[in-house]
Amino acid sequence: MSRLTLPINFHEMSVFNQYFVAIICIFFLLIPSVLVPEVSAQNLPTGQCVTEFKADNDYFTDKVTVETASLFSIEYFNHYKLVTNKQTQEVFGLYQCGTVNDLPANVKPFPVSINSVAVTDTSSNAFLDMLGLRSVIKVLGSADLISSPCIQYAKDNGDITILSTNETLNAIELGNVDLIFGATDAAADKKSVSVSSSNDPGVLNRVEWIKFYSVFFNAESKANEVYGKIKSNYECFKNLVGKNTLSNKPVVAWVAYEAPSEFNQNTAAYKIADAMYKMQLTEDAGGVYFNSTTLSYSNSVDFLKAIENVDILIDETFVAPTLDDVYKNFELTPNQQYKFIKNQAIYREDGLTGPNDGRDWFENAVVMGDALLEDMINVVNPKLPKSDYQRIWLRNVAKNEPIKISSSNNCSDLNQPSFSKADDCSALPSVSVKGDGVISSTPTFFSYLIAFVISVIFSNISII
Ligand SMILES: *[C@@H]1O[C@H](CO)[C@@H](O)[C@H](O)[C@H]1NC(C)=O
Ligand SMILES: *[C@@H]1O[C@H](CO)[C@@H](O)[C@H](O)[C@H]1NC(C)=O
């Protein structure tokens, strides 16, 4: 036997050799999974139907389980699934095409997978986009309310048509699609599917609606992947905030001005929001959510008195693009002593829109919950999650930050699904705040040390 075949002296291993052995061992451990690919059945993708129906086959081996969302449920049977929108009480019976439709009575039947849809709300686009299903969208309810660059591109290209206002044409256009997402008031319509993602109370509840969409396309496995990623990234950001708590947590109020109109008896109203997801975002970002027993005021004096100790204002008034507009609506003046004025901490949700003011806040901000938290973290503590973080949706109007416009030019690859715009939280350097605001990077030396110790232990175990 030559020296070459026995290169390592196990009893006097150098650090290098120990690493070497560890790497070799890991390599051999991985081989079985490479050589023997997992043979698992999958749900049939769009365009494929069962050719030989067997009643006791499970046609949906990829399943989703609802974890946090409270406004929908999904039940699996061998060749069909029952999906319930708990807010509207609509039940959709999705049977695998090529099997039989023996669905219970009182459900809206749809053979799956669905090939073409019309979308009449805004957030459905974003969910379908993330599932890689942009190409099933054939008709849109409105030309204006789109911020997704690639959906705008498909519309400009004629691949997506805009629903006509002419009733005859409208009926023809909707007749050509398999299903209509968004129509909450069209229970009588056989094709309409009501969606309630924006009403599900928590941030991750809203995100989890991606599972609701997925079941219509047998895309459960993609939904699990996307939801799992966003959820763990969200938890990671929440932990990052937990490790960097400010000694004085800022108080954040989400407010809106309602101009007098026919909808409010021509009286102005000053509102304080009371939504679970806004509270979660604020608290998970390290702030204090401003809550009040009175949520609506008829004059600005009482309203301003209520929010006098607020540090950060989030103005949700739909139209108020400039700081002057905000001042005018709430009857504020620049020299007042409110902290949100002195500290220039007034934000709006209009940071990213389409060319015709289609707000991305109502599209991607619903599904990209991790990126939304990241934006909010930066609002509460501008040094987090990293010093050069660029917010997506929450725009500081007090600092005159510009509105970013996304148009069809910004579609880089029509065939790619959209991805959450969040940073990978686990790849961010961990930061710690000393006192109020001074930040230092924690050395990553310890993580290297731990990795080293583990590999040494591992190589020794393998040798024995
Ligand atoms: C709607 O469209 C149909 C078909 O093109 C046309 O015949 C009809 O005149 C239109 N109706 C209106 C009110 O424009
Ligand atoms: C879209 O693309 C233009 C350049 O074509 C760029 O200036 C703009 O910042 C992009 N918008 C977004 C939202 O990325």
Q: What is the mean pLDDT of residues 139-161?
A: 92
Which residue has a Cα nearest atom 3 of ligand 1? 168
Q: What pLDDT does residue 438 have?
A: 40
- 378 alpha carbon to ligand 2 midpoint, in Å? 22
Q: What is the mean pLDDT of residues 12-24?
A: 53
The ligand 2 site (C-beta within 6 Å) comprises: 352, 404, 406, 409-410
Q: What pLDDT does residue 263 have?
A: 85
Q: What pLDDT does residue 19 have?
A: 60
The distance of Cα 288 from the centroid of its chain, to the nearest Å, equals 23
When the pLDDT of each residue in the chain is averaged and rounded to a whole number, the result is 87
Ligand closest to the CA atom of residue 170: 1
Q: Among 168, 169, 172, which residue has the most ligand 1 atoms within 8 Å of its CB, making it the best to mutate?
A: 168
- 323 alpha carbon to ligand 2 midpoint, in Å? 24
Domain presence at residue 41: no
Domain presence at residue 338: yes
Which residue has a Cα nearest atom 12 of ligand 1? 166
Domain presence at residue 237: yes
pLDDT at 443 > cutoff 50: no
Q: What is the mean pLDDT of residues 212-222?
A: 98
pLDDT digits (tens, 9 = 90+) for 244-281: 999 999 999 999 999 998 888 889 999 999 999 999 99
CA–CA gap between residue 378 and residue 285 (Å, rounded): 8
pLDDT at 39 > cutoff 50: no
- 162 alpha carbon to ligand 1 midpoint, in Å? 16
Domain presence at residue 88: no
- Two structure tokens written together for 446: 């310890």
Query: Which residues form the domain of 299?
Result: 227-408+416-427
Name the E strands within 265-386: 269-272, 288-289, 296-297, 312-315, 346-348, 352-353
CA–CA gap between residue 123 and residue 90 (Å, rounded): 19
Ligand closest to the CA atom of residue 147: 2
- 152 alpha carbon to ligand 2 midpoint, in Å? 14
- 406 alpha carbon to ligand 2 midpoint, in Å? 6
pLDDT digits (tens, 9 = 90+) for 69-107: 999 999 999 999 999 999 999 999 999 999 999 999 999
Q: What pLDDT does residue 264 have?
A: 83
Partners of 253 in the β-ladder? 313
The ligand 1 site (C-beta within 6 Å) comprises: 166, 168-169
Pairing between β-strand 251-258 and β-strand 192-193 as defined by DSSP bridges: unpaired
Q: Which atom of ligand 1 is nearest to the CA of 166?
A: 1
Q: What pLDDT does residue 440 have?
A: 43
Domain presence at residue 244: yes
- 413 alpha carbon to ligand 2 midpoint, in Å? 14
Residue 40 vs residue 195, higher pLDDT? 195
CA–CA gap between residue 305 and residue 268 (Å, rounded): 17
Q: What is the mean pLDDT of residues 190-203?
A: 94
When divided into structural domains, the chain yields a total of: 1
pLDDT digits (tens, 9 = 90+) for 373-409: 999 999 999 999 999 999 999 999 999 999 999 999 9
The answer to whether 276 and 202 are in contact (CB under 8 A) is yes
Which residue has a Cα nearest atom 14 of ligand 2? 406
Q: Which atom of ligand 1 is nearest to the CA of 169?
A: 2
Which residue has a Cα nearest atom 11 of ligand 2? 406
Q: Among 405, 412, 421, which residue has the most ligand 2 atoms within 8 Å of its CB, making it the best to mutate?
A: 405
Share above pLDDT 70 across residues of the chain, in percent, rounded to a whole number: 83
Domain presence at residue 351: yes
Share above pLDDT 90 across residues of the chain, in percent, rounded to a whole number: 76
- 320 alpha carbon to ligand 2 midpoint, in Å? 23
Q: What is the mean pLDDT of residues 10-26?
A: 52
Pairing between β-strand 312-315 and β-strand 251-258 as defined by DSSP bridges: parallel
Q: What pLDDT does residue 453 have?
A: 57
- Residue 86's contacts (CB-CB under 8 Å, 6 or more residues apart) are 70, 71, 72, 73, 196
pLDDT at 9 > cutoff 60: no
pLDDT digits (tens, 9 = 90+) for 156-177: 999 999 999 898 998 899 999 9
**145 — pLDDT class (breaks 50, 70, 90):** confident
pLDDT digits (tens, 9 = 90+) for 328-340: 999 999 999 999 9
Ligand closest to the CA atom of residue 169: 1
pLDDT at 411 > cutoff 50: yes
Query: Quick one: residue 184, left, alpha or beta (phi over 0 = left, psi -120 to 50 = alpha)?
Result: alpha
Q: What pLDDT does residue 18 have?
A: 58
- Two structure tokens written together for 405: 């416009």
**42 — pLDDT class (breaks 50, 70, 90):** confident
- Residue 127's contacts (CB-CB under 8 Å, 6 or more residues apart) are 197, 209, 210, 213, 366, 367
Domain presence at residue 47: no
Residue 165 vs residue 438, higher pLDDT? 165
CA distance readout (Å), 444 to 239, 240, 349, 388, 424:
17, 15, 35, 20, 17
Q: What is the mean pLDDT of residues 44-62?
A: 93
Whole-prediction pTM value? 0.84
Upper half-sphere CA count for residue 133 (Cβ side, 13 Å): 29
Q: Which atom of ligand 2 is nearest to the CA of 407?
A: 1
CATH at 394: 3.40.50.1980
Q: What pLDDT does residue 456 have?
A: 55
Q: Among 163, 167, 169, which residue has the most ligand 1 atoms within 8 Å of its CB, making it the best to mutate?
A: 169
Q: What is the mean pLDDT of residues 287-309?
A: 96
Domain presence at residue 263: yes
